Structure 1
Amino acid sequence: MRAAAIIENFLEMMSAERGAAENTLSSYRRDLEAAAEFIAARGSNLPDAASEDIRAYLDEMNTLGFAATSQARRLSALRQFFRFLYAEGMRQDDPTGILDAPKKERSLPKIMSEQAVGRLLDRAKLEAEDSAMAGTDRLRAMRLHALLETLYATGMRVSELVGLPASVARSDHRFLLVRGKGAKDRMVPLSAKAREAMSRYLALRDAQPESDDNPWLFPAFSESGHLARQVFARELKSLAARAGISTSAISPHVLRHAFASHLLQNGADLRAVQQLLGHSDISTTQIYTHVLEERLHQLVSEHHPLAD
């Protein structure tokens, strides 16, 4: 069977059995097709590749200057692919089993200070309450305010946020039911400010003629029917510039990091933060422990009798 057909079968399995998101499937497709092209040039077929073929592929990426994170991601895709072949009886071995993942430094997440987030939210609220705004501009301003308050109150992934159905915001304003990676649901609490911003936005949204036929909380004229992540990110950067905050230091994901870091700074339990972020493994959440280390160091410096 040709590599392309087997890749399609693998992607169908990842979608049906693992609940992989469209972005994940697209990433797997690109990585596997790139590997298949390289291995075909060596006179072999991806499903029949030997460990030497995979190692040569990784060496080629290193030579071309691919970051260790990119190399590790592609190797992970190949591991999943060959495990699928083994499980389906198409191979009796896994050629990636003896290969080590490229070593990569785990960078600390970019975060914003509580003061900077406060300035951003204050600016969003000011614009949302601007009585001079009307029509589409007013709806957009109130939508952005609701998006930001909700994102900072919950730490949701941006894809989870823009893809919220309108029904979840109507059922119980104190909590939102979020569908995360792997189609796993979790409950996240909404702050009073987020509830207020959401209620004001919902009232204006529901008054729009086209809102009745759109099931999304943040509808848009797009292929998905809801606001695109890129549009939200662009509006966020524009708001940051108006608030006097560097646009290079802001993104929806930075606000997710800020949510987690600020919780830990103020005494939240790491396990609770893990649950709120929707991390399946606490090791993913532990990247934020540098915040705890800084907080403990400050406590010792301020309160230990022998501290300088």
Structure 2
Amino acid sequence: MTLRFDLERHHHLAGAIHARAWLTMREQFGLAPNTLDAYARAVDSYLAFIEPRVHDCEASTQSDVAGWINESRARGLANSTLIQRVTALRLFFEYLVEEGLRPGNPVSRGGAFRCCGTTVFRTAGPIRRMHKLPWIPTDEEWERLLRATSEDSIRDRAMLALAYDGALRREELCSIMVSDFDFARKLLTIRAETTKNRSGKVVPYSLATSALLGRYLNRRRTMRCEPDAVFLSESPRNRMMPITSYTWTKVVERMALRSEIPHLTTHTMRHLRLTDLARAGLDMHHIATLAGHRVLQSTLIYIHLSARDLTDALARTMGSLAAPRHPSLGPEE
């Protein structure tokens, strides 16, 4: 079986038999390719850290894990990335314990409940999660982006529009097939195998996006290419091959540079679309369906970004609070 994780990039995995066996097992269980690669990076990073100290993971201790976490934090890893890496390492150690290769797991499970008599405590994990609101552009920044991309290829503009309308993740956008469209109803089916949580969904797109897609597909019909992949590479090396997530990331990076919006990423269109829907007052359950969220807690981020609930609540209560709390103007002096 061909491994999806790159042993040339993660070269410490080459000599780690148990790590490769665990990653291969996760792949066979259907782990998403991007998640598999992230797990490979995490284990490879840990193996690189412990190499001068111990010979293998079977002899690792909590002190080794703590040192690796501190070293990763010192290198400036984002909080979410660090949590993902710690999770991957914990799952790997669980595998070693289940296989009888070590006595216990040196990575504690955060959020588990511990009982002491009649009292229940919530245990802390090795990394405290920081819940940051995602960045979204202002109206002026978005208009600047549209102006900067007005002369871009019809493919890039169609992808930008569709990414916004459908609140699509990068992999979902790049994996679209012609057969996924219902052009008459302006609906797009996102296949389960392309989504983060392996749940399919159907999303609408606008009349303006439909016009961009129509122009792009008319041009695409003149090309000799794969019959079903919609968005194709325009580079000389991979011309007419399906566009990759890496290529789309580079396209958006160039858009960000030209429009002078440094925080723009492939995920920005998704964040902005969901926030706009929250601002418009769409029901949170409908927003969650469009986003493909399994739990509403994930959708609440966009309610916070829109400040919809806070604004409505303040509007209802400010009148009654103002009179007793504000000082009187009194007579003019």
TM-score tier, shorter chain, comes to 0.7 to 0.9
**SS of match in other structure, 2:51:** helix
Which of 131, 154, 161 is equivalent to 2:166?
Answer: 154
Which of 194, 211, 219 is equivalent to 1:204?
Answer: 219
C-alpha change, 1:50 and 1:268, in structure 2 (3 Å) is: same
Which of 67, 72, 77 is equivalent to 2:88?
Answer: 77
**Residue pair 2:182, 2:188 contacting (<8 A) in 1 also:** no
Which of 189, 203, 206 is equivalent to 1:188?
Answer: 203
1:227 aligns with 2:243: yes
Deviation at 1:28, TM superposition (A): 1.3
Figure out how many residues of one structure are paired with residues of the other and give that number: 288
Relative contact order, CA 8 A, sep 6+: which one is greater?
1
Which of 311, 314, 318 is equivalent to 1:298?
Answer: 311
Letter of the structure 1 residue corresponding to residue 196 of structure 2: K
- Further displaced range: 75-84 or 297-306: 297-306
Question: Rg bigger for which structure?
Answer: 2
- Partner residue of 1:46? 57
User: Please, what is the CA RMSD of the aligned residues?
Assistant: 3.1
**Residue pair 1:3, 1:45 contacting (<8 A) in 2 also:** no
**Residue pair 2:163, 2:270 contacting (<8 A) in 1 also:** yes
C-alpha change, 1:78 and 1:249, in structure 2 (3 Å) is: closer
C-alpha change, 1:76 and 1:3, in structure 2 (3 Å) is: farther
Q: Equivalents in 2 of 1:77, 1:223: separation in Å? A: 36
**SS of match in other structure, 1:60:** helix
C-alpha change, 1:44 and 1:56, in structure 2 (3 Å) is: farther
1:169 aligns with 2:181: yes
Q: For 1:229-266, what per-residue CA distance to the aligned partner results, in whole angstroms no more than 9, with x for missing partners?
A: 34434444555666xx4331422211111011111111
- Partner residue of 1:247? 261
Structure 1 length as normaliser, TM-score? 0.79
Q: Equivalents in 2 of 1:69, 1:121: separation in Å? A: 30
Structure 2: give runs of 5+ residues left out of the alignment: 1-13, 111-124, 323-333
Spell out the pairing of 1:21-100 with structure 2 (5 A cutoff).
Answer: 21-63=32-74, 66-97=77-108, 100=125
- Further displaced range: 153-162 or 51-60: 51-60
Structure 1: give runs of 5+ residues left out of the alignment: 128-139
Letter of the structure 1 residue corresponding to residue 232 of structure 2: P
- Partner residue of 2:116? none
Identity %: 24
Which of 102, 112, 116 is equivalent to 2:137?
Answer: 112
Q: Equivalents in 2 of 1:39, 1:119: separation in Å? A: 48
**SS of match in other structure, 1:252:** coil
Letter of the structure 2 residue corresponding to residue 35 of structure 1: Y
Q: For 1:177-230, what per-residue CA distance to the aligned partner results, in whole angstroms no more than 9, with x for missing partners?
A: 22202543222222222223222211211122x12x354211225499322334
Letter of the structure 1 residue corresponding to residue 36 of structure 2: L
1:285 aligns with 2:296: no
**Residue pair 1:121, 1:148 contacting (<8 A) in 2 also:** no
1:10 aligns with 2:22: yes
Q: Equivalents in 2 of 1:63, 1:112: separation in Å? A: 29
- Partner residue of 1:257? 271
